[in-house]
Amino acid sequence: MKVTEYYEKANGKTLVSFEILPPLKGSTIHQIFDALDPLMEFKPPFVDVTYHREEFVYKSMPSGHFEKVAIRKRPGTIGICSAISMRYGVDAVPHLLCGGFTKEETENALIDLNFLNINNVLALRGDARAFEGQFVPEKNGHKYAIDLVRQIMDMNQGIYLDEQVNGAHTDFCIGVAGYPEKHFESPNMEADIINLKKKVDAGASYIVTQLFYDNKKFFDFVKACRAAGIEVPIVPGLKPVTKKYQLNSIPRKFYVNFPEELVKAILSAKDAAARTQVGIEWAIMQSKELKAAGVPGVHFYTMGDSAVIQKIVEAVF
Ligand code: FAD
């Protein structure tokens, strides 16, 4: 079923969904199952699986030189989606990136997904690679997520890259990313929302947000989106903060702010267990308020910490 149909059929009830990362190369699918098994009691209608493009590393060679080598540390997004659907009978939503893909490779990936009966995708641009100052698309790849949305919508109408192909119509439901604290490259929130509206006008039918720790930012964002004419479901994304180092690593990676009250509580917690408890309680407080406000769903970034997510969901849903 399509993600949007789940929200429609929920009739105002707030749904819970989860997002997982593929395990590091060399691990088995059981790592995914171990993370998801305890979360399945909450009956998520769908589970997202992130995509991780290749990174370049410099390897020291026997000659003494360094060689630039491309490695993908977390492959397997499509295979994991298929394994999740088979094991749990829920929909799995692969993230699909512009970065690292030519249009041809994107088309082939979409054909694979269609054959596997995976009909939901989250269409994203992806970030710049570590050594590149800014996002660089592949030669003959997409520069912005909207271009990826357009390609998927073309395939939904039977339009393939090869004009000779009179192709089958796919039926993908497309989600896109939104940023309650603005995407870090955008000059301002207004410009970012204009670009978000363009993705929706191009065919995206729901939005999942970047994580945030201050619900007011989310509520203001939704208000601004509605004022701009964006009418699709906007689903808040949450990730509990449970460790001291995350007070710096999360803002650095996701360009979000922590409320001072949360920072103080984390810093004054007496040990690691107390810090985790602070993060759990904060996420419970956020989830309860979001649910009371009638959000269509809460999307939890599990990032390998199922036990923490389990406690939060148990307390709220
Ligand atoms: P876009 O929508 O293309 O926007 C990127 C920037 O360009 C924004 O500042 C936007 O305002 C601007 N822009 C858009 N269109 C135009 C235009 N036509 N002209 C000028 N400017 C424009 N990354 C991964 O690598 N793997 C994942 O699995 C993954 N999952 C994610 C899931 C969620 C819910 C979110 C919120 C993010 C995820 N990301 C993931 C991170 C994402 O790839 C980055 O945030 C990336 O920098 C932007 O992606 P986007 O799809 O929002 O890009």
Domains annotated for the chain, with CATH where assigned, are: 3-316 (3.20.20.220)
**Separation of alpha carbons 53 and 261, rounded Å:** 36
- Per-residue pLDDT averaged across 193-197, rounded? 98
Residues 249, 254, 256: CA angle, nearest 5 degrees: 90
Q: What is the pLDDT of residue 303?
A: 86
Is the C-beta atom of 255 inside 6 A of ligand 1? no
Q: What is the pLDDT of residue 65?
A: 86
Nearest protein CA to atom 25 of ligand 1, as residue: 126
Q: Please say if the pLDDT value at position 69 is more than 90.
A: no
Nearest protein CA to atom 26 of ligand 1, as residue: 51
Q: What is the pLDDT of residue 60?
A: 84
Both tokens of 88, joined, read 């749990």
Contacts of 286 (CB under 8 A, 6+ apart): 213, 215, 238
**Separation of alpha carbons 109 and 79, rounded Å:** 11
The number of beta carbons lying within 10 Å of the beta carbon of residue 30 is 10
- Per-residue pLDDT averaged across 262-266, rounded? 98
**Separation of alpha carbons 218 and 180, rounded Å:** 5
Q: What is the pLDDT of residue 296?
A: 98
Nearest to 132 by CA among 68, 73, 66, 65: 68
The residue whose CB lies within 8 Å of the most ligand 1 atoms, and thus the one to mutate among 143, 195, 196, 198, is 195
Is the C-beta atom of 126 inside 6 A of ligand 1? yes
- On whether the pTM is more than 0.85, the answer is yes
**Confidence band of 62 (pLDDT split at 50, 70, 90):** confident
Question: Which helix (H) or strand (E) element contains residue 48?
Answer: strand 46-49
Q: Please say if the pLDDT value at position 250 is more than 90.
A: yes
Q: State what percent of residues in the chain have pLDDT above 90.
A: 90
Residue type, 90: V
**Chain-wide mean pLDDT for the chain?**
96
- Tell me how far CA of residue 214 lies from CA of 52, 220, 237, 245, 264, in angstroms: 27, 10, 12, 19, 15
Q: What is the pLDDT of residue 30?
A: 96
**Separation of alpha carbons 124 and 98, rounded Å:** 6
Q: Is there a contact between 208 and 122 (Cβ–Cβ < 8 Å)? A: yes
Nearest protein CA to atom 39 of ligand 1, as residue: 126
Q: Please say if the pLDDT value at position 304 is more than 90.
A: no
**Separation of alpha carbons 152 and 163, rounded Å:** 15
